[in-house]
Structure 1
Amino acid sequence: MELNLKDIGKYLDVAEKAAIQAGNTLKEHFRKLDSTMIDEKAKNDYVTYVDRKSEEIIKSCIKTNFDNHSILAEESAIETRHSPFLWIIDPLDGTLNYIHGLPNFSISIALEKDGELVIGLIYEPLKESIYYTIKGQGAFKNNKRIYVSNSQTLNNSLIATGFPFRIKDIIDPYLNVFKEIFLKATGIRRVGSACLDLAYTAEGVFGGFFECALSPWDMAAGSLLVKEAGGIVTDFNGNKQYLTTGNIVAGTKGIHGEMLKIIQQNFKH
């Protein structure tokens, strides 16, 4: 079954409504958490009552409208309904920021059809900024078209990254990459939300973004945003398997190429 823009528009509308509803919950509880609302899933990996509540709101909204669709969300197992449609959800990206009162967090919702991303939406609740895209239709922020940076070199660009806290044994090559890019770029920023890193790359704030050991919900919506904004997105091998490898390099064509070369010189595959 071929999708038309009217169908995809309905999916995007539901994603937007779900994100705003969940975002209201995030805003309501921001800087109001107590220790009883926070659990540690693993060392330095936390989940809050608000993560779970946000996910519940988003899933409920999707299931109310598209009950036969499958859902992959961060805080629960995949709900398979033998559907060609798969929603990929991060109900609160930047949980650690949220816990500590840092205002850098977001909600990410993407939809795959037969394994291909067709819509992506990232919502920044405190700013009420909605980044969204439909495959083949460009990328937008609050109804205004956005594009990646005009810069094609590291030496006049701001770059974003994160750190692989779950996989400590790759920290040495990762820090080598960080050092080389740091020495060439104007600066490096660590926002603490990969979804926002990709959204900001899509709108040209960052010239590029790299990180490893991520999950599909960290990258799905943002990767489509960057590509629809005119950027390049690959894994560390220069291939398209970033959602499965968890390793991502995104940015303008020139910056992506520079970063990928540095990464491949330090990571042996």
Structure 2
Amino acid sequence: MEQMSRELQTAINAARAAGAITLEKLGELTEREIHTKESKDFVTEVDKRCEAAITAIIMENFPEDSLLSEEGTIRNGSSGRTWIVDPLDGTLNFIHSFPVFSISIALKNEQNDLLAGVVFQPLLEELFTAERGKGAYLNGRRISVSNRTDSNSFLIATGLPFKEYHYLEAYFGMLKEVIENSAGVRRAGSAAIDLAYTACGRFDGFWEFRLFPWDFAAGALLVREAGGSVTGFGGESDLFGQQSIIAGNAVTHPLLLDQAKRHFPA
């Protein structure tokens, strides 16, 4: 692994600090520590503690940078760079002690180029890292997207609708096609993990409708640095104007993109 930048080391330190908080509280949450943001969308005191820990570490090291975090921490800096943070991706899983959740931290510049990204699975001690132009890594070992080309062997990840239902018909239409053109579909409940697993070849592709930058920023860089492609549903390369994401290898990405364009026309 190449010498990492100070930015990536800071993201790693912040992710590990947040990961330690999640491990302290997994299975120990009380009802008073769980709050409803809106229908079927929750936040816990652990999310907030993780966000505070991550924010403190980043701001101590890069006080001139901006920060955008899922649970409301927004800081406007002067550098033109922005840290994008999901302090606990997979909150519902965490509430139910379902052991699939992660911490996601990314850094982008004014041109929306992703510069660094970390996805950390604390329960498995799996640290996915990437820097622009330097490749993607899992615990220090270089990773790449899968090289599978036979649709009968594809394992595809997705996220299921849980708040907005007006697009269910389109979603299930695409899901039917994906099922018919793959060996199986999985829904982990953490888009950051789905993208990290696509980057290391565990999944052959990923698609999800309605995501936010903190859901996909770090994972998108991982996939791209691992040799894959990530775009919006219309094929857009600048993800920050999009809310729907497709990721995959040289075969699965165009396959999923074609399906998305037909089922979710602009």
TM-score (norm 2): 0.96
> Take 1:164 and 1:70, find their aligned partners in 2: how far apart are those partners?
31
Match of 1:27 in 2: 23
Give secondary structure in 1 for the equivalent of 2:236.
Answer: coil
2:74 is the counterpart of 1:78 = yes
Give secondary structure in 2 for the equivalent of 1:163.
Answer: coil
Match of 1:176 in 2: 173
Match of 2:106 in 1: 110
Match of 1:253 in 2: 250
In 2, are the aligned partners of 1:194 and 1:218 still within 8 Å (CA)?
yes
Shift of 1:164: 2.6
Structure 1 stretches lacking a partner, 5+ long:
none
Match of 1:98 in 2: 94
2:145 is the counterpart of 1:148 = yes
Q: Which amino acid aligns with 1:250?
A: A
Shift of 1:153: 4.0
Question: Mean alpha-carbon deviation: is it higher for 30-39 or for 8-17?
Answer: 8-17
* Aligned pair partner of 1:129 in 107, 126, 131: 126
CA RMSD of aligned residues (A): 1.2
Structure 2 stretches lacking a partner, 5+ long:
none
Shift of 1:82: 2.7
In 2, are the aligned partners of 1:72 and 1:89 still within 8 Å (CA)?
yes
> Take 2:163 and 2:74, find their aligned partners in 1: how far apart are those partners?
21
Shift of 1:242: 2.8
In 2, are the aligned partners of 1:147 and 1:203 still within 8 Å (CA)?
yes
> Take 1:225 and 1:144, find their aligned partners in 2: how far apart are those partners?
13
> Take 2:91 and 2:241, find their aligned partners in 1: how far apart are those partners?
22
Count residues in correspondence. 264
Percent of matched pairs sharing the same residue: 42
Match of 1:239 in 2: 236
- Detail structure 1 runs of 4+ shifted over 3 Å in the superposition: none
Match of 1:201 in 2: 198
> Take 1:70 and 1:190, find their aligned partners in 2: how far apart are those partners?
32
Question: Mean alpha-carbon deviation: is it higher for 195-204 or for 167-176?
Answer: 167-176
Q: How does 1:204-215 map to 2 (within 5 A)?
A: 204-215=201-212
* Aligned pair partner of 2:33 in 30, 37, 42: 37
2:158 is the counterpart of 1:161 = yes
Deviations 1:12-65 (A, max 9, x none): 111111111110000000011010000000111000000000000000001111
Deviations 1:147-167 (A, max 9, x none): 000113432110000023232
Deviations 1:66-105 (A, max 9, x none): 1111100000142112321100000000000000010000
> Take 2:142 and 2:200, find their aligned partners in 1: how far apart are those partners?
9
